[in-house]
Structure 1
Amino acid sequence: MNKIILPGEKVSDKPEQMPGTYIHDGKTYADVISLYDEEGKKSVPLEGMYLPRAEDYIVGVVCDVRFAGYNINIAPSFNAFLSGRESRDKFELGDVVFAKIAEVDEVNSVALTDARRLTGGKMIEVSPVKIPRVIGKKNSMVNMIIDSTKSEVYIGRNGRIWMSGGDIELTVRAIQKVEQEAHVSGLTDRVKKFLEDEAESE
């Protein structure tokens, strides 16, 4: 069962490393408002900024073209670097790209790899901490949305989501519903019913 935990609320009597928590006197407390899975003993923050991690996939925007590569904006006031040797594509200012974080160093400089250009679609932004809910367990949520809308969807851990083809408007509305109701139990069933109702109304 999921429950909302507030900042300062005790999560565990033991020291446990979970997102959005801190440890004090051998016990674990919520640092931000979070959704806590009492069965799985997992905490999912419901607010917060994106902190880049190696192996994350992100959706970014080319903000500077340089001789050696590209500066890619991946969050407000936060850029990453893509070496020209790390991509077969040539990018231009303003291009939207899907890429993997290869490395984050001790001063939070981010290096990207495996970048590809995304064209002809629409990009939206949601709170980065809601991205796990948009993806769902074993990709269940995003796959359900894709199956219903027939859209191609690329989800960045940085909170940016790009989509093209199919029913883009419905895809956006479904993702926004997930973001707005991320704290609600039974979310998958609620989104499934929403998509089914939309299909019947067409």
Structure 2
Amino acid sequence: MSKIVVPGEMVADKPQRMAYTFSDGQKTYAVALSLLGDDGKLVPLEGPYEPLVEDIVVGYVTDIRFTGYSLSLGTPFSGFLSSRDTRATLSLGSIVQARIINVDEVRSIDLADARPLPGGSLEKISPVKVPRLIGKRNSMINLISQMTGCQLVVGRNGYVYVSGMGNHSLALKAIRMVEAQAHTTGLTDRVAALLNEERAKAGQPPMQMPREA
């Protein structure tokens, strides 16, 4: 069973090269509040987003230049989308999904393959909770989307686009539940129960969880 480990807690009785750990030459210790899985891997429960090439991120336009667009990614570093790398015409505040194609030594981020996400809202969760919100084989995000009727797009940077269609408020409630309980087991079942309970209150029939969830 997975367990929570705190910084400085031993996670292996021998030196190992693992993310979010350090070794004293004899044992391996956590450097961040993390979830230690049965497979011995650590999933951090806190920490900032570290941009990586090929990451899919979500942001919004904060500045328009002749050469392209500046996007806020919810990080200390903004992203830049060249006009040559998008056919879309964007305006200030436009919500966009894009792919990171370059990160330089001062964390300047270049973007490409932009896809505008019209309407809806932009929500922020902790970047380290993103894998839990997506779920194995997209199971959690598919569950929330199918049971609320909302389109959800999750960026690795922690921004989540929620379309205006469907039960928007219920989708947000489920997202916040996942973020708050990301370190617990049985979360998919509890989220499904919440969604079906709220659907019942609205006079809607219950739905089965997607098979992959």
Q: Distance in 2 between matches of 1:46 and 1:119?
A: 31
Contact 1:15–1:26 (CA under 8 A) maintained in structure 2: no
**Partner letter of residue 144 of structure 2?**
I
Shift of 1:26: 5.1
Query: Secondary structure, in 3 states, of the residue corresponding to 1:75?
Result: coil
**Partner letter of residue 111 of structure 2?**
L
Query: Secondary structure, in 3 states, of the residue corresponding to 1:47?
Result: coil
What is the aligned length?
200
**Partner letter of residue 105 of structure 1?**
D
Q: Is 2:62 aligned against 1:56? A: no
Unaligned runs of 5+ in 1: none
Q: Distance in 1 between matches of 2:143 and 2:106?
A: 38
Name the counterpart of 1:14.
15
Q: Distance in 2 between matches of 1:166 and 1:56?
A: 28
Name the counterpart of 1:93.
92
Q: Is 2:110 aligned against 1:106? A: no
TM-score calculated relative to the size of structure 2: 0.89
**Partner letter of residue 17 of structure 2?**
E
Q: Distance in 2 between matches of 1:11 and 1:201?
A: 45
Name the counterpart of 1:175.
175
Q: Distance in 2 between matches of 1:136 and 1:27?
A: 31
Runs of 4+ in 1 over 2 A off after TM superposition: 20-24
1:161-199 C-alpha deviation (Å, 9 max, x unpaired): 011111111100001000001111111121121112222
**Partner letter of residue 174 of structure 1?**
A
Q: Distance in 2 between matches of 1:79 and 1:190?
A: 36
Q: Distance in 2 between matches of 1:70 and 1:23?
A: 43
- Which one has the bigger strand percentage? 1
TM-score calculated relative to the size of structure 1: 0.94
The change in CA–CA distance for 1:29 and 1:90 in structure 2 (over 3 A counts) is same
Contact 1:9–1:30 (CA under 8 A) maintained in structure 2: yes
